[in-house]
Amino acid sequence: MKQNTVESGYFCRKLADMSRGYIRLSWITLVLIYLVILAGSIVRTTGSGMGCPDWPKCFDQIVPPTAEDQLPEGYKETYSGYRKKKIDKFANLLDKIGFSETANALRNDDSLLVEEDFNVARTWTEYGNRLVGFLAGNGVLILFIWTLIRYRRNRTLLALTFINLVLMGFEGWFGSIVVATNLLPWTITLHMLFALVIVGIQFKIIRLAKKQAGTNTAGIKVDSKFKYLFYFSLFLTFTQIILGTQVRQEVDFLVQDGIDRAYWVDSMEGDFLFHRSFSWLLLGINVLLLWMNRKSNYGIPAIKYFVGLVVVLFITGVLFSYAGMPAIIQPLHLLVASLLLGIQFYALRYFEYQRESLIR
């Protein structure tokens, strides 16, 4: 009997150790996903998206070239032909799902087939982005396998790790479409939105893993006004990121038209004005949440980080407007916005545990 008790205790300790390792890997994977978002923003800002004209290799090499004499002979014509075939396949897919107008626009846009001259800095910038994506994808894959082997009884956790694995695979495939279509702005925007979905799911995975490991945050009973205001703040953050991607799309069109960076703000209307105006609303709501959190002693520590991150967004936004949109600020602006959304997703655990405690 004593031996069984000892063995049972060892098994429980072993399970706890595995849980800590699983949570640690979940956090590492999340960091890698954020690094992919940051790297993608740097690629877009530096104009390095076509640094590697093929995918998943770069100039048909696992390690990209560092000089022009290492390039395949006639690479421009070769990759232009490959791109045309991929665009045709993608256009056929769009036809099947009802986007015939967009499909025809892709088929008839000869500018998509123009190959850029080799630039070693841009090539290695894009290659770095792909390496980080490879690491993040493997993190998601290992999490799914680990869940399948050890935690498959938690069907929600298993489903979420599987969904994230599928989405990462989709992102990889769609990344090839982004390259094939010569960085069409709407494809880049869609690519970013799916990345945010992956971030949200990864935070949910972490919350579930911590729950299974018995490291839940104590339930907090909050006023319904506070809770719904919190949900609205999260929705507004997501909307702001969407508007931000649309602003970036306008910038891409200005670049195509040859307009100098210093005149971008003056040339933009619509989405940019909404994006700038909603920033004030986002700040006001998070300051109100901070005040309500302190007044009612809810003790939710994440709220103060919301306000801090929104302030950083304001500072970088001001630099956009009044400093000629410096390139170095753009990746920072996007990263901070993504972090804000992610921390808001993570803070939802307080309300989840509150509901569980009420059910019990």
pLDDT by residue, tens only, the chain of 360 residues: 444 444 444 444 444 444 788 999 999 999 999 999 888 888 877 777 778 888 778 888 888 989 888 888 888 888 888 888 888 888 888 888 888 888 888 888 877 777 788 889 999 998 998 899 999 999 999 999 999 999 888 899 999 999 999 999 998 888 777 766 766 767 777 888 888 899 999 999 998 888 776 665 555 677 888 889 999 999 999 888 877 777 776 766 666 666 666 666 666 666 677 777 788 888 899 999 999 988 888 888 888 888 899 888 888 877 766 666 666 777 888 888 889 998 888 888 777 654 444 344
Alpha-carbon span 52 to 314, nearest angstrom? 34
Q: Rounded to two decimals, what is the model's pTM?
A: 0.79
96 contacts: CB under 8 Å, gap ≥ 6: none
* Spatial contact of 309 and 241, defined as CB atoms under 8 Å apart: no
Rounded (10°) angle between helices 185-212 and 329-347: 40
Sequence ranges of the domains in the chain: 10-72+118-170+183-215, 216-360
3-state secondary structure of 61: strand
* Spatial contact of 288 and 264, defined as CB atoms under 8 Å apart: no
Alpha-carbon span 266 to 324, nearest angstrom? 10
